[in-house]
Structure 1
Amino acid sequence: MNQEKTSFVYVTYIRSTPEKVFEAITKPEIARRYWGHENVSDWKPGSGWEHVRADAQRTVQLVGKVVEVAPPTRLVITWANASQAEDPAGYSRVSFDVAPYDGMVRLTVTHDELEAGSGMDKGIQQGWPIVLSSLKSLLETGQGIDVFAKPKSAA
């Protein structure tokens, strides 16, 4: 039985260059500053990549393969929880499209091939907006935001 698939698209505009945005996605030392994780790979098609928590434990949380790389305009990777790495059905796909836009950059992140209603589907709907807001903040101000922040409950 095939599960229904869904996708998530997020577009943001960043006062930066395509090269700096692409580097922020692919260079571990930059990603840790806005994501709290490092994206580790040699970024060649067919290579693996790991999303490693930038803390003392260095836990690998996500894994996948590099599908397409065209610096500084496009990166496509597969994406799965490390615990589901052996299950082909557990993978989704993320595309980063970076385009110059009137002195800025338009970054479009498309996360598709997601199992509708899954934990990953729900998680990325909360995760991508704060991660990409933090990326924008880092590149525009030099400081990311706390991607692990939780909303305050009403008293």
Structure 2
Amino acid sequence: MKKPEHLFAMVRTIDASPEAVYAAWTQPEIMRRWFATVVEADVRVGGRYRIENHETDGTVNVHAGEYLVLEPGRRIVMTFQHVGATPNTDYFDEFVSVTLRPLPSGMTELTLENGWDGLGPGDDGLEALKQGWGEWLDLLAAVL
């Protein structure tokens, strides 16, 4: 996979094993607890997923993508495309990479990289993207 034109990364320490964190990213019943309201996932390389987030204001954000790399307990790489929202908004194609590193304490260092090519979200959109991933990772940590 080529390096994207634009990339940002976030690193978090999660109080759970890499295997538990990996499961939270790949098992729909756990994903629903932190990632999305509705989750459909065919978790295999080349498999597709679709998630919906139902916001309190009635907005429904839909994301979908394909699993590119699945290394249990170590790494997940997937495309991440905004495929719709109400009200409708223009979006761009992205990829997301999640790398898990075990820590001696039994915890996991999670590195999330979000990248894209071409025009992206602009400065305000980039801050919103970082805020959104930060909120999702906070929910992940709370669930685990």
Q: TM-score range by the shorter chain?
A: 0.7 to 0.9
Structure 2 Cα separation of the partners of residues 120 and 110 of structure 1 = 16
Aligned to 2:93: 91
Q: Which structure 1 segments of 5+ residues have no match? A: 140-155
- Name 2:47's counterpart in structure 1: 47
Report the TM-score when normalising by structure 2.
0.77
Which of 90, 113, 116 does residue 116 from structure 2 map onto?
113
Per-residue deviation at 1:116?
Answer: 5.1
Question: Partners in 2 of 1:65 and 1:36 — Cα distance?
Answer: 16
Determine what percentage of the aligned residue pairs are the same residue: 26
Q: How does 1:24-39 map to 2 (within 5 A)?
A: 24-39=24-39
Which segments of structure 1 move beyond 4 Å, counting only runs of 4 or more?
none
| Unmatched 5+ stretches in structure 2 | 86-90
Tell me, in whole angstroms, the C-alpha distance in 1 between the residues paired with 2:41 and 2:124.
25
RMSD: 2.7
TM-score by length of 1: 0.72
In structure 1, give the amino acid aligned to 2:128. G
Q: Distance in 1 between matches of 2:123 and 2:49?
A: 22
In structure 2, what is the equivalent of residue 144 of structure 1? none
Displacement of 1:36: 3.8
Structure showing the higher strand proportion among its residues = 2
